[in-house]
Amino acid sequence: AVWKRKGAIQSAYRPAGGSWEVPVSVSGSGTEAFTPQAAVDAQGDATAVWMRYVGPKLVVQTAYRPAGGVWQTPTGLSAEGEEGGDPHIALDAHGDAMVVWEHYDGTNTVVRGSYRAAGGSWQEPTKVSGEGEEAQTPQVALDAQGDGVVAWAGSTKVVGGYVRTRSAYRPA
């Protein structure tokens, strides 16, 4: 489980058939962190994601906890100097992870995402939503083979434009 407490992201773990461990800080020290989410793979490895202010900008950060281990040092996902918010995470059974978030590119709010193969490093963030589209409230899912689907509410800035559910597919 992950949650916000006194401006930090904390976590507690309960192994199957066991008791909850003592809560620990995941986000480290610094500015306030919020909107945490976590996902756990079939081996018990966990990945958490949240937002935090770095200077005047919101950024997306993540941390990894191997089964039976401790949380590793948080890593930034949104590109240097790039603002990001409303992060969501999905893991498949093997520990492959995908995170998506909102980013204002100066014209539109777009959906950005990053992928990490189990045991690997996070890939450079990429734009997921379409050109000229206003995109919000992204959600992500991975199937057992690592195929990913991202869905969001999207619209164009055309007078009388409609908000529609949009999606993108990423094969494993």
Tens-place pLDDT, residues 59-111: 999 999 998 899 999 999 987 778 888 999 999 989 999 999 999 888 889 99
pLDDT tens sequence across 119-156: 899 999 999 998 888 888 999 999 988 899 999 988 86
pLDDT of residue 30 exceeding 80: no
pLDDT tens sequence across 101-112: 999 888 889 999
Residue 39 — very low, low, confident or very high, per pLDDT cuts 50/70/90? very high
Torsion of Cα atoms, 125 then 99 then 151 then 12, to 10°: -160
Give whichever of 8-17, 23-32, 161-170 has the largest mean pLDDT. 8-17
**How big is the CA angle at 98 (ends 40 and 138), to the nearest 5 degrees?**
110
Which tokens is 172 given? 């494993």
The pLDDT assigned to 82 comes to 84
- β-sheet with 133-142: strand ranges across: 133-142, 148-156, 164-170
Q: How many other C-beta atoms can be found within 10 angstroms of the C-beta atom of residue 60?
A: 29
- β-sheet with 8-11: strand ranges across: 2-5, 8-11, 24-25
- Mean pLDDT to the nearest integer, 168-172: 88
Which tokens is 104 given? 């204002």
What's the pTM value of the predicted model, to 2 decimals? 0.90
